[in-house]
Structure 1
């Protein structure tokens, strides 16, 4: 393809922008770096994430390289991050990494348990090598670091109206519920990456194995055994949502609408999966845009009302969660 060819095609100025600059084709909505249904194929350039222009294109190359580097290099990067975070949490500087500095500052402000960061990094390391889970308990151990700790870390920031330890199990379970939803929705994409998060004993109970999943993925066919296994995994995931839901009223009033919105929309992914006949090996289930907009708008109205109420109760100061205490009250100077 030469400039003469571009002119002949009506592109006299070339094609510098690739995908159109519409909202639905910008940033995270652009074509992904990974090619769906094709293992070990990674894209780079202005037609993929994150966008057009020299800096985004260079970043897309960096992202592509990161996806194809070996586990040794990724493990080294995790070790460097872990070391920098530990040093920063101990007050020894950020090593020139502003994101790490911001994370350490948040940890200090809200008295976050440093052990939760270590647990998270442990699970991230396991992703470099572990590609299967024998049973649900084994998967739960992984999700403690990859999901449950996120709920526990957010709890002091969101604030509570009950003792924090009472809300903690629900917060951890909500993180697990969200990740289980991801596992169910992304079975096909994870399979392309060589991973299966569905417990092997659950699959075996329905006479499903990895080769059958691969066959269904490659051929576009469905199998009643696979559907039955996915349906059981959905039921397991819904149990996590039920265990997590009582924790939402325990949050600070100003935080509840946001978490409730996430709870409803993520739970809606399960409904979408079921509505497609559990065709997650062939396409990504998603909540319809109209539904997302309605739920988000309702959440926005509720959080605005909660903030206005809090300001009235506080005499005009903006409410926020208490960094170190076990309830949802922040000191005004910290909220600012």
Structure 2
């Protein structure tokens, strides 16, 4: 199964590569990642491409603490609405458990497990990359745990630290690099990856937490991301929305995401009275209508967000959907008052 990850997982990537004296564009192009995608709202990219990008960057730039350094630009906010829920939990433990519960939304390739705590003992959190077929992705493990340490400080206060952080690999970076990024003792060559949270910190109340904000964020998350009871056609439509900007929205890719052979996927959808290509086409049309109503987006940007490599293909699709070119459709929206700004980025 091929998984996606929220593109925010690359926040700061370009800045760090430039800081190291290199150009990020060739690295991104090698893994077919669009520059700037990490700053697009709710954009997702293939998980394997993202983690291999970090590994290759670390090796070729001779920066063994690449993941640790990248965490300087990241932290809890890469999780989007999950961060709002966690930040407004009652205690630090509640916040971390919320992240564990909803982490599949950030990426199904990542898993955070909370061990049952005994009275007075530390609470253990185990972190795993569960995407099959990948080698050990050291930089992603270190980036994730460095982000975890930042999240704990955000919820528990500037002095909040895990008791210790454990990695399965041996030490790569300097002692100073780990100390700066993690701020606690680090154990290498362990049989597990994760951290131990002191009991007193686990039960610490989060200052400024707002239960109403948490409720609203939870409602938003659960209404915008599918529950386990969703139909197959609903899941395919949701996947299509995420995959369109990657340029890899196809029956085969969606089948991979759902761990279904394309023919099995098509047969199962036929039982619900729909075709996969029709669902993809519907989502592309709906997204096109939404993007064309946003004047700040250039037509070339919209074409890319819809997964088109050529503007002419986007033009033909618009004629088929709306009996108008993209510019004509945008002009009609402006006249009807739907467009959100009088300026157009044609």
TM-score normalised by L of structure 1:
0.27
TM-score normalised by L of structure 2:
0.26
The structure carrying a bigger strand percent of its residues is: 2
